[in-house]
Structure 1
Amino acid sequence: MTELGQAFLLWTEAHPGLALLILFAAAMLDAVFILGVFVPAGLVLFAIGALVALDVVAFWPAVLIAALGGLTGDLLSFALGRRYRERLFESAWLQRRRMLVTRAQQFFQRHGGKGVLMARFLGPLRAVLPAVAGASPMPLWLFLLADGVAAVVWASAYILPGVVFGASLGLAAQVAGRLALLLVLLAALVWGAFALTRLSLQTASDRAERWLGALLDWSRRHRRLGRFGAALADPSQPETPVLALLAILLWALGALTLFLLAAPSLHAYPWPSDAAIFQWLRDLHTPYGIAIATVFLHLGEWPVYTPVAVAMLLTLMVQRRTRATAHWLAALAFGGVLSLGLARVPTVDAPHAYFLLTPPPGYAARDLVLATVIYGLIPVLLSTGRSAHQRTWFYGVASALLVLITVSRLYLGAQWFSHAMVLLVIGLLWTALLGLGFRRHRPSVVRLGATLVPVGLTFLLAATAQWTLDRDLLPAARSVEVRTGFTWTDWQQDGFQQFASQRSDIAGRPKQPLNLQWAGPLPAIREALERSGWTPPPPLASGQVLRWLSDAAAVDTLPVLPQVHAGERQVLMLRHPQDARRQWLLRLWPADARFDDGTPLWVGSLVLQEARSAYLGLMRYPIAIDTANPDPLLRPAAPIIRDVGGLYLLTTVASPEPFHD
């Protein structure tokens, strides 16, 4: 996966013209009548904005090309409306989108010319309103004027967030390319969850009555099995006995599926697809990626979702929503039974146990079922009686949360992909059955503010408490491996060539030079440097990070982002100010080696940094401008320094072999 991501970036850098062509096509198709509803142009513009920040494409050409593409698509839609008038909206193939067309017509009648400007930012209306304007008496010149302005503002509004995001990726690229790629993938998954939710809700709303009618017809034809469907869909029949039986059947289905997929008696090894996905995600591992995943992992654990479930129950009881309370209790009771029952099914060990890795902190193997039920049923209860727009937001947020929880479990090796999908589907099916029963049997409208405030606050407080208890989200640096037969003489003669001369980024891509190799215990190195006037940079706390937004902040007040080499975070970072604008910065990483007497070796870099405005003037950040000769800077801490063609060998201990200065 990392190779594919790197290949895409290299391809974009080599073919910026084709990238802009893709931008034009996406913006144009997004504006074409009806077709634009299904085209994710916003994601493309956002991605191009990130490329702008990374200096792959220029800002204004990208904005103008996106605006031109959007204007071209709008003109095509306008021409369709002008050519076919009302016949365009009365065609048989458009009946499924009739509600959307009606909304666009009403919107245009209410707002007229300024509606063309506004519709550019109103999602599905963007792909319909130009055709409605074409079918109206609106002059072409007025449409071009309004839509041209709207297209430029729209393109800027979608590209600029990508620029800001790309700027942060530019900083993150100094930290780790893997982390940057992970953030891009998470953003794409969250967007995909929202898009799929919107499409699913629209499809369900268009066909729900037809499906329910078919279910009731089937129930009448099959007296025994048909009672399941009738009990859920027919408001006049009791639902509780059938829901209990369906929960048992659902548990049996999930247990059988898990057993067939992962029983050790049937599968001594994980499925090749599971192993491949785990390995792809391992390629994206960095200490900071693990920290981010751990944050989301905690949201799917019982210390967070249990207080949320209790808060939701108490809120429903206070509001005297009897049926909603009953369904919530059923969700918790049977969801807990499903979770505990599936936990008893023997399966292949989770990835972290299978590969003898460090287990994720505080997770439970089958928590995903109950987390899915709780976070899935809340939007069902909240959206009952609400508009389609509100339902989309409720379900979209829940879908994004479940996606992040699931991906974090996969990333940290808490679950195989196939197992997670089974548990997620079982949880969603049980939520859907409860939701169907609730919606079809005298549903009560839950008060929005009175529910969201206590439940949302409980979620935030529980998550904060869990994150606080797990203070050390960043794993400790791994211990270096001992290389046998590695002597001081070997190191001086040619052994130093065994170690990386450049910091490696995603897929081993070389980045900044590593111009130091330092032998000695890390505490002794740190102590010697601090005695010589070296100090740690300001911490990455919120108050300190805000200094990046100041144009006049001194370099010694600006935090410095950590960097990762070969998937490992630095073990030492110290600075030595030169003046208000410049400072020396030293970083060290493990070299995966010890001398035969046990002395560890570290690789590192010494650079001169200057505080400069970067990323369109949005930030002031220390930028490396040159490497440095460590002799005058580090001599007090490392009395023995040897220059080997620009690579400096340092030691703070007396070597048993002659060490030539």
Structure 2
Amino acid sequence: MSTTEWLQNLAPSPQWLLLFIALISLIESLALIGLVVPGVVLITAAASLAGHYDLPIALVLLCAFLGAVIGDGLSFWLGQTQRQRIPSLWPFHQHPEWLERGTLFFQRYGVLSVLIGRFVGPVRPLVPMIAGMMHMRTSLFLWSNLGSALLWAPAYLLPGYLLGKTWQQLLDMPPGGKGWLILLASTVLALALMFSLLRHQLAREGWIYRQLAYSARRSRWQRGLWNALRSSRPSGEFPLASLVLLFISLPVLSGWTLWVLEQQGPLPMDRSLQALIDGIASPAMIQIADWMAEAGDTLGVIILILPWTLWLLYRRHYAALLHLSGGLGGIALANTLFKHLAERVRPDTPDYLSGSFSYPSAHTSTAVVLYGLAAAFVAETLPSRHRALAYWAAIIICVPMALSRLIIGVHWFSDLVGGALLGLVACALVRISYHGFATRPLDKPPWKVLSLITAALLVARIFWLPPV
């Protein structure tokens, strides 16, 4: 019996599977029970089976959405009706710090805590219950519950669903393909972890930052330079991580580009990875990659930044607006120059890309600049211990955006690497420049309103406007 047949024998029928997805989503969001149930593992496994059965993705997402809404609703009702008894219930009488942590989270983020909390493991089952305990208006909670579930369902189920659609191809992968796939995943994860760790260590609370500050105090010229870097801005803190990022990414970009130019064609790695992607790509993966392509083209980027641009204008954050616009305009110019320098042919050239070269990937570099700068600006408004969440969110968006170019077949893998490096160089330059021009800290934006407007505009762009 093959591995696939063994997995099929273990799987429930499609009708029961939809019920299981709804129940898992409900239980994971349910107070008390959700603390001990490995919901992420179960929902990923169920979504993989749904993909393998080729169940309609809309129906799968609807079941998960309804389960999540009901689970949070029951938790909110429990908090409203049992607020006096909850501290004495298991497990809170043994771990009162869990309630304290959830209460602080709710007090810090208010209405947004329901939206954010659904994606934060330690407080996910607690926030709706605490919202009920803290007398949050039922109508306000309802809208927050619906909005968060609408975002949670695709974010948690689509990766597992796509895995289920493609696991037969993964099991029947050509010789050497598994090695390339493992290397690709390991490289992306290692780079993300290294970036996150380095950013934290170069922030004010990091060990490397403290060591540099201690070293600077031992020398007059070092102390003068250090004080100059840290002075004159609202935050009083030079973006040291951006400076180090520039020193690392610029020479790596130069070396990588020279290597690509010397090859005069795709690298052996490019051909192997492209063959691997072609072997596992399914119609659903290609459709999602097409949507990402539309979200990342010129019109998509304009729509993504339009609401935030208007808010920055309204709040008179002209320095942030000019640097964001300059970063996007600069990366567009850099992409054009690099493409004409390399003149590298694409693996496939659809009509809307005729006359356009392959290296570097403009979608990748633009995504890195857009979401990287957004993460940096958002991190300014967050406590230091939560800033890593903004950067990890940017990474989680940029990686699929880049890999979608391989699924469509319009870029080689080395194009994605070049685009990512070029985007990091642009991000570092913009952040360093912004430090010299910012006159006041950024205000916290109205996340809920701007996010809903952006999502509505992006959906309209994907489904009703042609590619650009």
TM-score normalised by structure 1 residue count: 0.39
| Residue of structure 1 equivalent to 2:203 | 208
From 372, 378, 383, the counterpart of 2:374: 378
1:107 counterpart (98, 120, 127) = 98
Q: How does 1:215-614 map to 2 (within 5 A)?
A: 215=212, 233-235=230-232, 253=251, 256-263=254-261, 266-352=262-348, 358=350, 365=358, 366-367=361-362, 368-387=364-383, 391=387, 394-432=390-428, 434-435=430-431, 444-449=441-446, 453-454=449-450, 457-458=453-454, 460-462=456-458, 464-470=460-466
Indicate whether 1:49 and 2:46 are aligned: yes
CA contact (8 A) 2:170 2:280 kept: yes
Alpha-carbon displacement from aligned partner over 1:335-357 (angstroms, at most 9, x marks no partner): 3443333233315322225xxxx
Q: Distance in 2 between matches of 1:387 and 1:344?
A: 43
- Matched letter for residue 261 of structure 1: W
RMSD: 5.7
1:253-286 Cα distance to aligned partner (Å, 9 max, x none): 46633432321xx214422211111111111234
The question of whether the paired residues in 2 share the 8 Å contact of 1:383 and 1:394 is answered with: yes
Does the aligned pair in 1 maintain the 2:270–2:413 contact within 8 Å?
yes
In the TM superposition, residue 427 of structure 1 has moved relative to its aligned partner by: 1.1
In 1, distance between residues paired with 2:241 and 2:102?
Answer: 48
Give the secondary-structure state (helix, strand or coil) at the position aligned to 1:208: coil
Q: How does 1:2-17 map to 2 (within 5 A)?
A: 9=4, 12=7
- Structure 2 residue identity aligned to 1:49: A
CA drift at 1:432: 4.4
* 3-state SS in 2 of match to 1:345: helix
* CA distances 1:400-453 after superposition (whole Å, capped 9, x unpaired): 32122111111112221122122113313432454466579765133321x663
Q: Would the aligned equivalents of 1:301 and 1:364 in 2 still touch at CA under 8 Å?
A: no
Matches within 5 A, 1:10-29: 12=7
Q: Distance in 2 between matches of 1:312 and 1:376?
A: 15
Deviations for 1:438-473, whole angstroms, at most 9, x for unmatched residues?
579765133321x663476246425523542349xx
Letter in 1 for 2:405: R
Cα distance between partner residues in 2 of 1:49 and 1:124: 22
Q: CA deviation at 1:111?
A: 9.2
In structure 2, the CA distance between the partners of 1:437 and 1:220, relative to structure 1 (3 Å rule), is farther
Contact 2:198/2:241 (8 A) holds in 1: no
CA contact (8 A) 2:242 2:428 kept: no
Question: Identity, % of aligned pairs?
Answer: 19
Distance 2:416 2:102 in 1: 48
The one-character-per-residue Cα deviations of 1:22-61 (angstroms, maximum 9, x if unpaired) are: xxxxxxxxxxxxxxxxxxx655433443477679xxxxxx
Q: TM-score, normalised to structure 2's length?
A: 0.53
Change in CA separation of 1:465 and 1:51 when aligned onto 2, cut-off 3 Å: closer
Return the structure number with greater strand share.
1
Is 1:254–1:423's contact at 8 Å kept on the other side of the alignment?
A: no
- Structure number having the greater helix percentage: 2
Give the whole-Å Cα distance in 1 for the aligned partners of 2:339 and 2:219: 35
2: distance between equivalents of 1:435 and 1:8? 50
Per-residue deviation, residues 265-320 of structure 1 (Å, max 9, x unmatched): x2144222111111111112344432221111111211111343454333212101
CA shift in 2, pair 1:244/1:407, >3 Å: closer
Distance in 1 (alpha carbons) for counterparts of 2:9 and 2:415 = 40
> Deviations for 1:117-166, whole angstroms, at most 9, x for unmatched residues?
xx99963589xxxxxxxxxxxxxxxxxxxxxxxxxxxxxxxxxx89x969
Letter of the 1:380 partner, please give it: A
Contact 1:303 1:462 (C-alpha < 8 Å) held by counterparts: no
Distance change in 2, residues 1:234/1:388 (3 Å):
closer
Q: For 2:397 and 2:379, how far apart are their aligned partners in 1?
A: 17
CA contact (8 A) 2:246 2:425 kept: no
Contiguous gaps of at least 5 residues in structure 1:
1-5, 17-40, 56-103, 113-118, 127-160, 182-188, 472-661
CA distance 1:179–1:325, change in 2 (3 Å):
same
Mapped to 2, the partners of 1:403 and 1:220 lie a distance apart of 40
Change (3 A) 1:391 1:377: same
**Contact 2:294–2:462 (Cα < 8 Å) also in 1:** yes
Per-residue deviation, residues 229-273 of structure 1 (Å, max 9, x unmatched): 876555469999x9999999899646633432321xx21442221
| Counterpart-to-counterpart distance in 1, 2:272 and 2:237 | 43
Rg bigger for which structure?
1
One-letter amino acid of the counterpart of residue 381, structure 2: G
Which sections of structure 2, spanning at least 5 residues, go unmatched?
12-37, 54-94, 104-116, 125-152, 173-183
* Residue 232 to residue 406, structure 1, CA distance change in 2 (3 Å): farther
SS at match of 2:294: helix
Tell me, in whole angstroms, the C-alpha distance in 2 between the residues paired with 1:260 and 1:221: 41
Distance in 2, Cα, partners of 1:202 & 1:350:
35
Whether the 8 Å CA contact 1:335–1:370 is kept in 2: the answer is: yes
Instruction: Output the CA distance in 1 between the equivalents of 2:407 and 2:219.
Output: 46
